[in-house]
Amino acid sequence: QVQLVESGGGLVQPGGSLRLSCAASGNIDSIVVWGWYRQAPGNQREWVALINGDGETDYYGTAKGRFTISRDNTKNTVYLQMDSLKPEDTAVYYCNGKSFDRDYWGQGTQVTVSS
């Protein structure tokens, strides 16, 4: 089992920045890919950023150039640095860990971009 706890969400003005954190515990060695996803009201959950065990990253189109995913293995924490935020980035953001046989999810953290 793996437990994920997100933090760092909040209200920010357009153009601002936030850093989300995902603290992981449990059998984290089973995780092969870490990711951040988001879900806006009325929309399906969509992936935002991924990082694998080699540190390779990938980003969904609108996140490229604005968001950065990283991982601190010493703290068992995955981060999502979000810059140049836009109102359309408003959503609940979820941390995800993928093992070979299942997905693990956090409870989500709300990000609201509004003036």
User: What is the pLDDT, as a whole number, of residue 31?
Assistant: 95
Percent of the chain with pLDDT over 70: 100
- Roughly how many angstroms between the first and final C-alpha of the chain, as a whole number? 40
Please provide the average confidence, as pLDDT, over all residues in the chain: 96
pLDDT confidence band for 82 (50 / 70 / 90): very high
Q: Which tokens go with 98? A: 């993928």
Encode pLDDT of 33-62 as tens digits: 999 999 999 999 999 999 998 999 999 988
What is the share, in percent, of the chain residues with pLDDT greater than 90? 97
Name the residue type at position 94.
Answer: Y
How far apart CA 20 and CA 10 sit, in angstroms, is 10
Say which amino acid occupies 17: S
- Please tell me the predicted confidence (pLDDT) of residue 61: 85
